[in-house]
Chains A and B, each alone.
Chain A
Amino acid sequence: MSVTFAVTVGILMGIAFGFFLEKSRVFEPGIIVGQMQLRSFIMLKVFLTAVATGAVVLAVLNGLGLVSLHLKPALYAADIVGGLLLGVGIALAGACPGTTLAQIGVGYRDAIFTLLGGLAGAVAFSYLQPWLSGTVFAAGDGKLSFADLAGIPYWQGALGLAVVLAVVLVGLERWRPWRSEIGANADGDLGAPPAEGIARPVPGKPQLRVHG
């Protein structure tokens, strides 16, 4: 695989990725913060749908022997501490590493600072990495998958996951229809929250009915 080919594929895939991220609205700070405050669930809907789709795709490709999997090793301390820091950053940025670039593309000015902070964070980690590689952060179980733990082939586990996620998504959509969570300007801004103690009708939730 030549670098020129890989970069060409990367640009085309990136344009498609950015286009879909923008259409999904998951790059909007209001959607990310809304999800983390459990006020809206668009981020979870996009994320779980993409995971389920990826699982089906990989079940087929890997099941037919066309591709091998690329699992990251399980490094529990690193996964937990790194994941927590990543989560703190996502809430304060209103973005993930990838969607920061989508925010820059559509014109959000603060995303430039998120990007610069991200590059600084990656550089800071790089300086510490040789030291960290001798600590608990490099300890783990290797490339472990839940299919291995269950003793079943990957494709069975992946299709099982996709079915479970599909059921969860149907439930999520019935509970909170996505159109009610987008906001008037499609930015996840649903207006100021209601004052404490005042009941607010939950969109999509059936009203209480008195049976006669």
Chain B
Amino acid sequence: MVALTDKAWSPYVAGVLIGLLQIPAFLLIATALGASSSFVTVGGGLFGLADPSILEIDYVAKHVAMTGKNWWQVALVGGVAVGAFLSALMSRSLRRGVSPIWARALGTPSKPARYAVAFVAGFLMLFGARLADGCTSGHGLSGVAQLAVGSTVAVAAMFVGGIATAVLLLRRI
């Protein structure tokens, strides 16, 4: 029914498998699935090479410290790239360039324009995620499953911001 060489699995099969990853996260690492903290660990660590004073900010010091949780998440997020590569390789669906939807969504086929939008998007995404103290994984998958009030508010705001932007700023794909 599902084969490693399939291009797509049912979203329900894939969703169950993603949800089951909470088991090793809670049992082995004593934490919930999350992704955005690792951007502080890596970004703060790298930027510390240029400006060591950033490492003196408590928030950054806490994230770059050699703890299991900090570096577990960096390894997790790095592993995502490897896992996605292996899956696409097996199903012969590796990609090149950019998704064909962007020419329509942005109204231009220009690659530099897409790269500029992507950079700004990444900036907003992680600034927002760090302000909210979590992203689609930490607040979404983990927070909502734990019935956290703050996470549910954050996820609702995320969809409001996403839908407003996609409807008002992007063209229909």
| A residues with CB within 8 A of B | 1-3, 5-30, 33-39, 42, 45-58, 61, 66-76, 78-111, 113-127, 129-130, 132, 137, 140-141, 143-147, 149, 154, 157-158, 161, 169, 173, 178, 182, 185-190, 192-193
Q: How far is the CB of A176 from chain B (nearest CB, A)?
A: 11
Q: How far is the CB of A75 from chain B (nearest CB, A)?
A: 6
Contacting pair B123 A117 (CB below 8 A): yes
Partner of A117, one of B23, B101, B118: B118
CA distance A154 to B122 in the complex (A): 35
Contacting pair A10 B44 (CB below 8 A): no
Q: How far is the CB of A102 from chain B (nearest CB, A)?
A: 4
Contacting pair B39 A122 (CB below 8 A): yes
| B residues with CB within 8 A of A | 2, 6-33, 35-36, 39-40, 42-44, 46-47, 54, 57-60, 66-69, 71-88, 91, 93-102, 104-105, 111, 114-167, 169-170, 172-173
Contacting pair B80 A89 (CB below 8 A): no
Partner of A83, one of B96, B121, B156: B156
CA distance A210 to B146 in the complex (A): 47
**Majority secondary structure, A binding face:** helix
Partner of A48, one of B15, B33, B59, B127: B15
Q: How far is the CB of A98 from chain B (nearest CB, A)?
A: 4
Supplied contacts A11-B75, A75-B133, A121-B127, 14 more A-B pairs, CB within 8 Å? A27-B84, A72-B134, A83-B132, A85-B124, A85-B128, A88-B165, A91-B165, A91-B166, A92-B117, A93-B121, A96-B137, A97-B126, A109-B96, A109-B115
Chain B residues near A114 (CB-CB < 8 A): 118-119, 121-122, 125
Chain A residues near B123 (CB-CB < 8 A): 89, 117-118, 120-121, 124
Partner of B145, one of A58, A96, A110, A120: A58
Chain B residues near A145 (CB-CB < 8 A): 146-149
- Contacts A23-B9, A38-B163, A88-B162; is A102 near B81 (CB within 8 Å)? yes
Closest residue of B by beta carbon distance from A15: B83
Most chain B CB within 10 A, of A46, A57, A123, is at A123
- Contacts A48-B15, A105-B83; is A76 near B40 (CB within 8 Å)? no
Contacting pair A129 B99 (CB below 8 A): no
Contacting pair A16 B126 (CB below 8 A): no
Partner of B144, one of A1, A51, A104: A51
Chain B residues near A79 (CB-CB < 8 A): 132-133, 139, 150-151, 153-154, 157
Closest residue of A by beta carbon distance from B25: A13
- Contacts A18-B79, A120-B123; is A193 near B166 (CB within 8 Å)? no
Contacting pair A89 B99 (CB below 8 A): no
Chain A residues near B126 (CB-CB < 8 A): 89, 97, 117-122, 125
Contacting pair B86 A169 (CB below 8 A): no
Partner of A80, one of B8, B28, B153: B153
CA distance A110 to B158 in the complex (A): 22
Chain A residues near B39 (CB-CB < 8 A): 97, 118-119, 121-122
Contacting pair B88 A105 (CB below 8 A): yes
- Contacts A79-B132, A97-B36; is A10 near B73 (CB within 8 Å)? yes
Most chain B CB within 10 A, of A38, A127, A147, A185, is at A127
Chain B residues near A125 (CB-CB < 8 A): 40, 126-127, 130-131
